[in-house]
Amino acid sequence: MKMTDPVKSFVKNNSGNAAIFQELNIDFCCGGDVSLQTACEEKGLKIDEVYQRLMAVESPANDEKDISGLSPEELTTHLESTHHVYLKEALPRLTALMEKVYQAHGARHPELKALQGVVGNLRADLEPHLLKEERVLFPLIRELACDFSGAKMGAAEGPIRVMRHEHDEAGKLLKQLRTLANDYVAPDDGCQSFQLLYSELKKLEEDTHLHIHKENNILFPSVLGGN
Ligand SMILES: [Fe+2]
Ligand SMILES: [Fe+2]
């Protein structure tokens, strides 16, 4: 790996690097085409230090390690059984938790109202997005795997373009969420539910970034024959 390589390729090469980019607030999923060098310059980070940290990370020993060997159709199953399952459980739970914290702290923390709006928008975007992938794009990808002539390959282009656009929109909402939630540092006067909400929102961001990275930077290029 070189410092001029795109950010996304560092995570593609070693998914353990996702945690470092999360910590440094460097976008590796929707904006992952920029080079590591440029990303560090934009954030005012020392490129040598970041590069060394990335290189020192060992590949994770969990299931993340194995996805590079998966075929596109196996990847769709992996995405559904991990990230999609997580979101379907987490989004309604976070909506309820958000309401609870708003009721308790809304008067002193007006930012919670705006935060609630963004969580609502994210849910309204992501729930139908998951269904479109599960009902349209992923079955199509599984079908394409059996189309050895390659004649139907172009059929996935349109749906993939739409999914990429929706990922960009979700990425923007996640950025708003982080800003409104003060980088997920709960205020000192926040109760346990407040702390829990912020740690859960942080997890939502982490999981969704990894989810979008796997689709944008691994699955889609493998279907369309890109890099
Ligand atoms: Fe997905
Ligand atoms: Fe997606």
CA of 126 to the centre of ligand 2 (A): 8
Structural domain span for residue 175: 70-224
Q: What is the Å distance from ligand 2's center to 132 Cα?
A: 9
Asked if residue 14 is part of any domain, the answer here is yes
22 and 46, same domain (yes or no): yes
The answer to whether residue 2 sits within a structural domain is no
Q: Mean pLDDT, the chain, as a whole number?
A: 90
Q: pLDDT tens digit string along 101-125?
A: 999 999 999 999 999 999 999 999 9
- With respect to residue 216, please indicate whether it lies within any of the assigned structural domains: yes
79 and 16 housed in the same domain: no
Same domain? For 58 and 78 the reply is no
Asked if residue 167 and residue 117 are part of one domain, the reply reads: yes
Q: Is the pLDDT of residue 17 over 60?
A: yes
Give me ligand 2 centre to Cα 97, in Å: 24
CA of 161 to the centre of ligand 2 (A): 11
Task: Write out pLDDT tens, residues 127-159.
Answer: 999 999 999 999 999 988 777 666 677 889 999
Distance from Cα 83 to the centre of ligand 1, integer Å: 7
Q: What is the pLDDT of residues 67-78, one digit of tens each?
A: 878 999 999 999
CA distance 168 to 209: 11
The last residue of a domain, from among 63, 78, 100 = 63
Same domain, 41 and 88: no
* pTM (predicted TM-score): 0.85
- H helices of the chain, where? 7-13, 17-24, 36-43, 47-56, 72-79, 85-105, 111-132, 138-144, 157-180, 192-213, 220-224
Last residue within a domain, chosen from 18, 34, 63? 63
**45 pLDDT more than 50:** yes
So what's the pLDDT on residue 128? 98
pLDDT score of 34 more than 50: yes
48 in the same domain as 33: yes
209, part of any domain: yes
My answer on whether 27 and 101 are in the same domain is no
Distance CA 143, CA 47 (A): 43
In a domain, 168, yes or no: yes
Tell me how far the alpha carbon of residue 200 lies from the centroid of ligand 1, in angstroms.
Answer: 19
Residues 77 and 182 in one domain: yes
Note whether 30 and 113 are same-domain residues: no
103 and 74 co-located in one domain: yes
Are 133 and 226 spatial neighbours (Cβ–Cβ below 8 Å)?
Answer: no
Contact 28/5 with Cβ under 8 angstroms? no
Same domain, residue pair 31 and 86: no
Residue 175: pLDDT over 90: yes
CA of 127 to the centre of ligand 1 (A): 10
- On whether residue 1 sits in a domain, the answer given is no
Are both 80 and 149 inside the same structural domain? Answer: yes
> d(Cα 155, Cα 143) in Å, to the nearest integer?
11
CA of 125 to the centre of ligand 2 (A): 11
How far does residue 128's CA lie from ligand 1's centre (Å)?
11
Q: What are the tokens at 56?
A: 């020192």
pLDDT tops 80 at residue 19: yes
Give how many domains the chain has, as a whole number. Answer: 2
**Of 36, 18, 9, 174, which Cα lies nearest the Cα of 94?**
174
